Amino acid sequence: MIIFYMSEIAISGIKTMINEFKNKPHWIGVVCFCITFLVVLGFFSWFFFTPFFLVFRELYSVGLKGGLDNFLPGTLIAININHFFYIIIILCAWFSVLLSRMLSKDSNVKNFKKIFAVAALACFVVSLSSQTSALFNLWLRRRAIYDGLTLEQRLHKLHTIFYEYAQECKRVLPGYHKATLITDMNMDEDPGMYYNRVLSYLLFPIDIINFRQGPQECLVIFDKENPRAFVPPHYRIIFYYGDKCLLAVKVKGDQS
Amino acid sequence: MIGSLLYSQGLPLALGYVLLLLMTRDRRLPLTLGLALGYGLGNGILCQWMFALGILGIPYSVRSIGFPLGIVLLVLSFTLYYFRKTARPLVNDDVAPPTQAFNLFHVGGLVFLLWILFFVWWNALHVPVAAWDVLSTHGMTGKILFLEASLEHRRHFPHPSYPLHVPFLMSWIAFNLGQWHEQFVKIVSPSAFMAWLFVQYHFMKRLTNAGWALLSLLFLYSSIAFVYIATTGYREMSLAFYSCTTLVLILFWHRNRNDGWLYLAGLYAGFLSFVKTEGVGYTFTYSLILVFLLRNIPLSFKEKCVRFFKFFMPAVLITSVYLVHTYFTVFRFLPKAGGKSFRLTALHFEFGPEAFARVVPVLDRISENLFLMGNWNIVWLIFFVSFIVRNKQNRPRIEFSAMAWSVAIIFFIYFIGFTFTQHHFFILKQEVALTRSIIQYLPLIVMLGTLNFYSVFNQK
């Protein structure tokens, strides 16, 4: 008897809900997305023999790789996470057509558009939350590296020996000086190309980019095997940095 | 140091804001929109002033740059005070947007926006200059401008033909701080990022309502490439801000026919070419859009021409001064390049079979970037979905068409550039240019998508 009454209540509840939903395609869109999302997640879980909650957790532990020129796509069980969302949206479109037909025969297109739009926006919100968690993780990693450091320490952390060497050069040789860079780095391709830019930037006003015309005043020898061998006789070495780097200046009075 | 930093940002901001109020005489201009537009205007004027000082051979210093601007600010403030008593808005603006109750979506959206702003500012101010282009071009140029305090050796700058807007702003900050500060010089891009936030919000709010305006910002800031580039000091953020704001100002003008907006759009278009050379292409695009808009306005031919030149003249004037100076100080001294040699500053078109064979690979790269990389979240798919569900009748027609045509023209220009010139190298061999070019017009894309979705739920 009790079961009979309870099922009566449940059926009337569902009927009321359907009647309510008929006037609120927004909610149907949300339900459409939720069901599709769970089905696709479940399929991934079954297909890759991975527990459901682990797949869900992986969705929110996607890392950010790359940067500036291109961020690499995150992966969900070794699959491009974009594909995961694309599958959901395509299924949502199909599901929206079915639901809009069930709702009413008069305004199929109108209902379909609303249901599909809400489902797509709901998918966007989940994707946004996944990426926000990735951005938050990036911030945590950056925070662990840079927080609490002085500007000098941060520069040192970022540019390592380039910064150390450039600072030492500028300390022993302040002001503008035209210089030539001698190095073993291959400056025609990365990473040498980038390092060359870093060194030019950090060294300035010691000028290795040929900014002003005029005679050379010093030699910047960086990352070069046996650097002493490349110092001409009319130059004087004013400091060494490790085995491969030094700074030499032209002896005054020498016009060669 | 913080005081000097605030002064370096506050002076151009105040100058731009006061001038903006004088130009538009719009009493109902929201404060945040006014400040955002004032930021762009003030910084643009500051850079043009520094350029003029450089041409005249006057050495840069806080005094030589800031003092005259301070005087101008005072004079403009007095003028504004006088005109505020007498002036009325030239033409009434459109009806106020419908108000909306504050709901859970607004709270969530605001929390997200605050987090993004926090991330951008934190990253910009905690990680020193490290990005390639900042080190090799505009950061280096800014450092040279700061240490040399003149434009005397411009032709020996790294990439000397590159426009000087961002290097000038960086060196202005350094002049005020008295040192080249590796973190604070980067605030140029987060500032532009924040300024665009307010412009987009108010523009979308005028077309829709606060909720949809907020959603458009969520779309934009879900693109990690857009957010991240604002932390690095790259010029793309300034370019995106000036470019999209130019179009928004033209559309403001179209709505209320206050010619002040048109002058302002002209100035912004001029500054645009001073941020990056691509700015010339954007100015051309927006000039075309203005011509299309003028076609449908009931004005005489002469009046249409006058309106057009109110936009075109400031843009062309600023652009041509820069181009003429660049010709006489840089290009004249460059050795002549052969037909096939690679040079960044000149375009070599080729339309042979080899060039046409690049069409498919280039399109392939573009679609891969838009849909399969991690740069844009799923914004591009959502954009296409929005076209499936849209309802043509229920969206602001003129604004939508103007933005859609702008995107189409800009995309076409880039596509031609990436396929039929030597710049295909940056797409097919190195993937360095595509993401950054998309960033420049991404705000228009997300606004179009939002208007499409708005049309579904705003059915009359």
Percent of chain A surpassing pLDDT 70: 88
d(CA A9, CA A13): 6
Residue A69 is nearest to which of B222, B435, B453, comparing CB atoms? B435
The three-class DSSP label of residue A65 is strand
Residues from chain B that touch A67, judged by Cβ atoms under 8 A, are: 228
Q: What is the pLDDT of residue A189?
A: 83
| Per-residue confidence band for A25, with pLDDT thresholds at 50, 70 and 90 | confident
Q: What is the pLDDT of residue B10?
A: 94
Interchain CB contact of A82 with B (< 8 Å): yes
Angle at which helices B379-389 and A108-146 pack, to 10 degrees? 160
> What is the nearest CA distance from B114 to chain A, expressed in angstroms?
12
> What is the nearest CA distance from B347 to chain A, expressed in angstroms?
22
User: B229 is written with which tokens?
Assistant: 């580039």
Q: What is the pLDDT of residue B430?
A: 72
SS3 per residue for chain B = CHHHHHHHHHHHHHHHHHHHHHHHCCCCCCHHHHHHHHHHHHHHHHHHHHHHHHHHCCCCCHHHHHHHHHHHHHHHHHHHHHHHHHCCCCCCCCCCCCCCCCCHHHHHHHHHHHHHHHHHHHHHHHCCCCCHHHHHHHHHHHHHHHHHCCCCCHHHCCCCCCCCHHHHHHHHHHHHHCCCCCCHHHHHHHHHHHHHHHHHHHHHHHHCCHHHHHHHHHHHHCCHHHHHHCCCCCCHHHHHHHHHHHHHHHHHHHHHCCHHHHHHHHHHHHHHHHHCCCHHHHHHHHHHHHHHHHHCCCCCHHHHHHHHHHHHHHHHHHHHHHHHHHHHHCHHHCCCCCCCCCCCCCCCCCCCHHHHCCHHHHHHHHHHHHHCCCCCCCHHHHHHHHHHHCCHHHCCHHHHHHHHHHHHHHHHHHHHHHHHCHHHHHHHHCCCCHHHHHHHHHHHHHHHHHHHHHHHHCCC
B-contacting residues in A 199-228 (Cβ below 8 Å): 200-201, 204-205, 209-213
- Residue A52, pLDDT above cutoff 50: yes
| Per-residue confidence band for A18, with pLDDT thresholds at 50, 70 and 90 | low
Q: What is the pLDDT of residue B37?
A: 95
Q: What is the pLDDT of residue B203?
A: 94
**What is chain A's mean pLDDT, rounded?**
84
SS3 per residue for B399-460 = HHHHHHHHHHHHHHHHHHHHHHCHHHHHHHHCCCCHHHHHHHHHHHHHHHHHHHHHHHHCCC
Which range, of A35-39, A54-58, B454-458, averages the lowest pLDDT?
A: A54-58
CB B46 within 8 A of CB B65: yes
Enumerate residue ranges in chain B where pLDDT < 50.
90-92, 339-342
- DSSP-assigned letters across all residues of A70-114: EEEPPEETTEEHHHHHHHHHHHHHHHHHHHHHHH-SS-HHHHHHH
Q: What mean pLDDT do residues A194-222 have?
A: 89
Chain position carrying tokens 């609490």: A148
Q: What is the pLDDT of residue A256?
A: 47
For B222-259, write each residue's pLDDT tens digit.
999 999 999 988 999 999 999 999 999 999 999 888 88
d(CA B246, CA A87): 38
* Residue contact A127–B378, C-beta within 8 A: yes
> What is the nearest CA distance from B262 to chain A, expressed in angstroms?
34
d(CA A4, CA B371): 53
CB B177 within 8 A of CB B184: yes
User: B51 is written with which tokens?
Assistant: 């350029």
* Residue contact A65–B144, C-beta within 8 A: no
β-pairing, A218-222 vs A235-241, is: unpaired
Residue B127 is nearest to which of A135, A142, A209, comparing CB atoms? A142
CB-defined contacts A:B, below 8 A: 156
For B278-310, write each residue's pLDDT tens digit.
899 999 999 999 999 999 888 899 999 999 999
d(CA A97, CA A104): 11
* Residue contact A69–B112, C-beta within 8 A: no
Chain A residue with CA closest to B427: the answer is A69
Residues from chain B that touch A201, judged by Cβ atoms under 8 A, are: 129, 135-136, 139-140, 143
Residue A82 is nearest to which of B112, B119, B372, comparing CB atoms? B372
H-helix or E-strand spanning residue A67: strand A65-67
For A70-94, write each residue's pLDDT tens digit.
788 888 877 888 888 999 988 888 8
d(CA B328, CA B320): 12
